[in-house]
Amino acid sequence: MEIRQLFKPVQPSVRNDLQGATYTELLPDVRLMKYIYCYWQLTSAEELKEPFYYRVVADGCMDIFYNTDTPDDNYIMGFSTTYTEFPLENRFNYIGIRFLPAAFPLLFRVNAGELTNRFEQLQQVVPALSEGIARIAAGQVSLPALQPLLDQYFMETIAGKDLQADHRLFEAIDLILQAKGVLNVESSLDTGISPRQLRRLFEFYIGDTPKTFSKVVRFQHILQAKPSLKSLRENKLFYDAGYYDQAHFIKEFKTMYGLTPTIALREK
């Protein structure tokens, strides 16, 4: 089963009425959907009175992003085990490409583990990709206008490539996603490969261990479920999601989101 059928990574919404910024996502061409989750744009509606802080939560993905004023200065952000907060200017227009778990290393033969919890200039990681993005993005400030150009570029990029990886890696990813991250990785990921070999595959294609990836998947499932504060208190959702107790849930949620569940869910 394809990853996107089981996994829909969530990022905190940006409330334009309160923050003066707009965040939008567009789907790629259907032929790219097994690799690219979405294209996204984060832009200020007007010049803001004070700097804007954008919080990116752990989502299991890798992203390319750039400011439309300087598309040649583009970046790649690796798998993250924590939230990341970016201080932006008073006026900004960022465009990004979000790759599904394992897709970026599969497409570009980059070791995801070398980018975990980091963002680097794309030119230093995949020079040809950095130059290609800069070329087609020059002068484009609207995501809907850029979308078909990105689709064409990535379809040309993957044409003729051997995009095969160890099927046992994707069987393990599939098991984690089906279990919503709630499983014993030592006993439940029996895909015909040793735990040590599986860790190596995960570290190359995902950026961390199966256990850490499962934690991110579990956290993302909580976000996608959109629980109310009342349901968290009454239904003990953290137990169902495999957390030991409420303190464990709050600590892990805050690490990956940057806020406690009470504050984060109040934002919605």
Q: Residue 25: what pLDDT?
A: 95
Closest CA to 81 of 257, 261, 265, 247: 257
Q: Of the candidates 158, 193, 219, which is a domain's last residue?
A: 158
Q: Residue 243: what pLDDT?
A: 76
Phi-psi region of 20 (alpha: psi -120 to 50; beta: other; left: phi over 0): left
Residues 151 and 181 in one domain: no
Residues 61 and 189 in one domain: no
DSSP per-residue string spanning 99-147: EPTTHHHHHH---GGGTTT-EEEHHHH-HHHHHHHHHHHTT---HHHHH
CATH number at residue 256: 1.10.10.60
Residues 128 and 221 in one domain: no
Residues 134 and 20 in one domain: yes
Residues 119 and 200 in one domain: no
Q: How far apart are CA 266 and CA 17, in angstroms?
A: 16
Closest CA to 100 of 254, 186, 244, 217: 217
Asked whether the CA dihedral 228, 244, 202, 198 is positive or negative, the reply is: negative
Total tally of structural domains belonging to the chain = 2
CB 78 within 8 A of CB 207: yes
Residues 151 and 180 in one domain: no
CB neighbour list of residue 141: distance below 8 Å, 6 or more residues apart: 68, 93
Q: Residue 235: what pLDDT?
A: 62
Residues 189 and 242 in one domain: yes
Per-block mean pLDDT, blocks of 10 residues, the chain (268 long): 87 66 94 96 85 91 97 98 91 96 96 97 98 96 97 93 86 94 87 92 97 95 79 66 79 93 74
What is the span of the domain harbouring residue 139?
3-158
Q: Of the candidates 158, 182, 211, which is a domain's last residue?
A: 158
Q: Of the candidates 126, 158, 190, which is a domain's last residue?
A: 158
Q: Residue 31: what pLDDT?
A: 94
Residues 152 and 173 in one domain: no
Residues 151 and 251 in one domain: no
How many CA atoms does the CB half-sphere of 184 hold within 13 Å? 3
Residues 110 and 154 in one domain: yes
Residues 102 and 149 in one domain: yes
Tokens 């061409």 identify what position? Answer: 29
CB 100 within 8 A of CB 7: yes
Residues 53 and 133 in one domain: yes
